[in-house]
Amino acid sequence: MRVLLVTTVLFFAQLTHAQTENFWHTLAQVSFKTVKDPNGYDAELPIFSKYLKTFHGKKVAIKGYVIPLDELGGSGKFMLSSLPFNLCYFCGAAGPETVVEVETTDKVKFSTKQITMEGIIYLNESDPNHHIYIFKNAKIINQ
pLDDT at 102: 94
Q: Residue 110: what pLDDT?
A: 80
* 106 domain-assigned: yes
Number of H helices, E strands in the chain: 3, 7
Determine the Cα–Cα distance for residues 30 and 21; give it in Å rounded to an integer: 19
- Asked whether residue 40 is assigned to any structural domain, the reply reads no
Predicted pLDDT at 30: 96
CATH number of the domain enclosing 91: 2.40.50.870
Q: pTM here? A: 0.77
**Residue 33, pLDDT score:** 93
Please tell me whether residue 34 adopts helix, strand or coil conformation. Answer: strand
Question: In the prediction, which pLDDT does 76 show?
Answer: 75
The number of folded domains in the chain is: 1
Domain span at 113? 2-28+54-142
Closest CA to 68 of 76, 57, 58: 76
Q: Is residue 134 part of a domain?
A: yes
* pLDDT (tens place) for every residue of the chain, 143 residues total: 554 443 443 444 444 433 445 899 999 999 999 988 888 988 889 999 999 999 999 999 999 998 887 654 556 788 899 988 666 665 666 778 889 999 998 888 888 899 999 999 999 998 888 999 999 999 999 87
What's the confidence (pLDDT) of residue 74? 57
Has residue 35 been placed in a domain?
no
